[in-house]
Amino acid sequence: MIDPDLISVGITLKLATITTLVLFVLATPLTWWIARTTHISRYLLEPIVALPIVLPPTVLGFYLLLLFSPNNEFGQLWATIFGRPLAFSFEALVIGSVIYSLPFYVQPLQVAFENVRQELLDAAATLGAGPIDRFITIVCPLSRRGFIVAATLAFAHTVGEFGIVLMIGGNIPDETRVLSIALFDHVETLQYQRAHLLAAGLLTFSFITLFLVYFSNRTRQSPPFRRGIE
């Protein structure tokens, strides 16, 4: 019998990985659009993307729960297509996490995209590179650090979420019981020893993640060593 806490670790890592991949696929073009457009709708979209930073997760979780419920058309449609209800499922957690971690992915990447100079894109265009070619061969490599920071923050933030998971995922072992929920359970049942283990683990993980993010930012600001001796 596997330790239930280990199962929670597995679910958490799976959730964070899938969430980060979904964000990579869906939020990358969105971020590019926000970073480059001069269209007025940008000023509406930017605060919407940033909302999860300021909203209590329970607010978001509450609305998502209503949306996912079989009484709602979207929930119904999902249940019809996939044969099982969306609420309190792992899929619901993924959707919730994608929305909740969206700003943590978009914002660092947006800064990186905005730092790609227009001249380079213009030069690439006149050299015969179309929009997708330019994005893949110029924008992505130049925004490499932005991608690393964005993916790291989105991953770490998903690992650490609690409120929204509780609202839309509930607490189903093997399905939706992620680390933060397991920790909460241990505290409620006064198993402080086990709670300590999970809490210290999350704390260490978060610190190391942030340390790496800040460390990679530091090397970006100071020029490579090579230039110092030229």
Least distance (Å) from another protein to the CB of residue 145? 11
Q: What is the DSSP string of 200-219?
A: HHHHHHHHHHHHHHHHHHHH
What does the alpha-carbon distance between residue 7 and residue 223 come to, in Å, rounded to a whole number? 44
User: 137 or 219: whose CB is closer to another protein?
Assistant: 137
Chain residues that interact with another protein, rule: CB under 8 A: 117, 119-120, 122-130, 133, 137-138, 141-142, 226-227, 230
Q: Taking the CA atoms of the chain, what radius of gyration do you get in angstroms?
A: 20
User: 32 or 155: whose CB is closer to another protein?
Assistant: 32
Least distance (Å) from another protein to the CB of residue 110? 19
User: 67 or 148: whose CB is closer to another protein?
Assistant: 148
Cα separations in angstroms, 177 against 14, 98, 144: 12, 17, 33
Tallying the residues shown for the chain, one arrives at: 230
User: 78 or 135: whose CB is closer to another protein?
Assistant: 135
Give the rounded distance of the alpha carbon of 139 from its chain centre: 21
Least distance (Å) from another protein to the CB of residue 30? 23
Least distance (Å) from another protein to the CB of residue 219? 15
